[in-house]
């Protein structure tokens, strides 16, 4: 079974896709109605990610503006939604444990959570260290809501691929007296003002805050479900080896 087949077969009723941007999960239009939620509207998303201008027609407009790091997800229960899609979203979230709890708290019994996450071995994160559960637990305990400089520094220093420079990105760096080498390469500016500007630039966009492989994410998910008594059951699973480098979990809210 493929990712799209899984979504077609199981996601029915009314639901929400979080952070779809230009890659929404296709659903059966005869059985499912979906709204889109993101922290940016379409125009602001194109401004934040100028490299996506060529795919602007694919970017979905946000029906709801939601900051997953700060807002609750009460609209899920208030609107009686049957499913939630988080396709390549959880790795961008500052506090993944709290995110899972919010989804679990607001889904109805029988509701489904379509969760996908990239395996770091198949991405530009392959040189980064796996996120440990102790680290995630500490962020939950401290109620972390803001992307830290430490996370950004780790991303910049250890990403394995060079990002292409869009003209608007180059203009931003020029206006802020930042050499483009700091965007293309893995170096961190020594000047504290330049360093702060670089961190703020990436904080306004989106990075992979945490990284997992199959074993570490499976442990994280099952440990969180057990530790916080979340009522999720893993209904289906597709491995990264069979799903283009992404791990796919279909979770169902149990009674």
Q: How confident is the model at residue 174 (pLDDT cuts 50, 70, 90)?
A: confident
pLDDT at 163 over 80: no
Determine the pLDDT at residue 24.
96
Q: How does the average pLDDT of the chain come out, rounded?
A: 93
| Ordered DSSP codes for the chain | --HHHHHHHH--EEEEEES-TT-PPP--TTTEEEEEEESS-HHHHHHH-GGGGGGGGGSPPPSEE--TTTS--HHHHHTT-SEEEEET-GGG-S-HHHHHHHHHHHSPTT-EEEEEEEBGGGSTTTTSPPPPHHHHHHHHHTT--S--HHHHHHHHHH--SPPPPPHHHHHHHHHTT--THHHHSS---SSHHHHHHHHHHHHHS----S-B-HHHHHHHHHHHHHHTT--EEEEEEE-TTTTTTEEEEEEEE--
d(CA 171, CA 166): 9
Classify domain 3-127+209-253 at the CATH superfamily level. Answer: Vaccinia Virus protein VP39 (3.40.50.150)
Give the mean pLDDT of 2-28.
96
pLDDT at 69 over 80: yes
Comparing 46-60, 84-98, 130-144, the range with the smallest average pLDDT is 46-60
Determine the pLDDT at residue 241.
83
Query: Phi/psi zone of residue 237: left (φ > 0), alpha (ψ -120 to 50 degrees), beta?
Result: beta
Long-range contacts of 27-32, Cβ-Cβ distance < 8 Å, separation of 24 or more = 32/83
pLDDT at 170 over 90: no
Q: How confident is the model at residue 97 (pLDDT cuts 50, 70, 90)?
A: very high
- CA-based radius of gyration for the chain: 18
17 phi, psi to nearest 5 deg: -110, 125
Query: What's the length of the chain?
Result: 255
Determine the pLDDT at residue 169.
82
Q: How confident is the model at residue 95 (pLDDT cuts 50, 70, 90)?
A: very high
Q: How do the domains of the chain map onto residue ranges?
A: 3-127+209-253, 148-204
Give the mean pLDDT of 32-54.
93
Which is nearest to 90 in space by CA: 241, 251, 242? 251
d(CA 101, CA 61): 26
pLDDT digits (tens, 9 = 90+) for 227-247: 999 999 999 999 988 888 999
∠ at Cα 204 (39, 197), nearest 5°?
165
pLDDT digits (tens, 9 = 90+) for 103-126: 999 999 999 999 999 999 999 999
Q: Return the bridge partners of 62, or none.
A: none
Determine the pLDDT at residue 249.
97
d(CA 131, CA 38): 25
Comparing 1-5, 48-52, 184-188, 239-243, the range with the smallest average pLDDT is 184-188
Q: How confident is the model at residue 210 (pLDDT cuts 50, 70, 90)?
A: very high
How far, in Å, are 22, 47, 62 from residue 249 at the CA level? 21, 32, 24
Determine the pLDDT at residue 240.
84
Extract the tokens encoding 215.
Answer: 């074993």
Which one is predicted more confidently, 39 or 182?
39
């Amino acid at each position: 079974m493929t990712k799209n087949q899984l979504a077609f077969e199981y996601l029915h009723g009314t639901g929400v896709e979080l952070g779809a941007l230009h890659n929404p999960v296709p659903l059966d239009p005869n059985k499912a109605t979906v709204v889109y939620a993101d922290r940016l509207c379409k125009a602001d998303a194109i401004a934040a990610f100028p490299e996506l201008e060529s795919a602007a027609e694919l970017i979905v407009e946000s029906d709801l503006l939601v900051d997953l790091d700060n807002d609750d997800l009460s609209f899920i229960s208030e609107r009686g939604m049957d499913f939630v899609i988080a396709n390549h979203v959880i790795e961008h979230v500052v506090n993944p444990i709290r995110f899972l709890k919010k989804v679990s708290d607001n889904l109805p019994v029988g509701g489904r959570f379509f969760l996908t996450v990239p395996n770091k071995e198949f991405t530009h994160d392959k040189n980064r260290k796996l996120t440990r559960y102790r680290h995630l637990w500490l962020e939950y305990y401290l109620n972390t809501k803001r992307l830290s400089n430490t996370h950004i520094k780790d991303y910049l220093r250890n990403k394995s691929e060079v990002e292409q420079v869009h003209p608007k990105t180059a203009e931003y760096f020029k206006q802020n007296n930042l050499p483009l080498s700091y965007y293309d390469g893995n170096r961190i500016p020594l000047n504290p003002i330049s360093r702060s500007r670089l961190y703020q630039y990436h904080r306004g966009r989106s990075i992979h805050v945490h990284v997992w492989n199959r074993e570490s994410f499976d442990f994280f998910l099952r440990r969180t479900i057990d530790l916080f008594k979340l009522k999720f059951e893993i209904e289906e699973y597709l491995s990264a080896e069979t799903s283009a480098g992404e791990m796919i979990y279909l979770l169902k809210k149990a009674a």
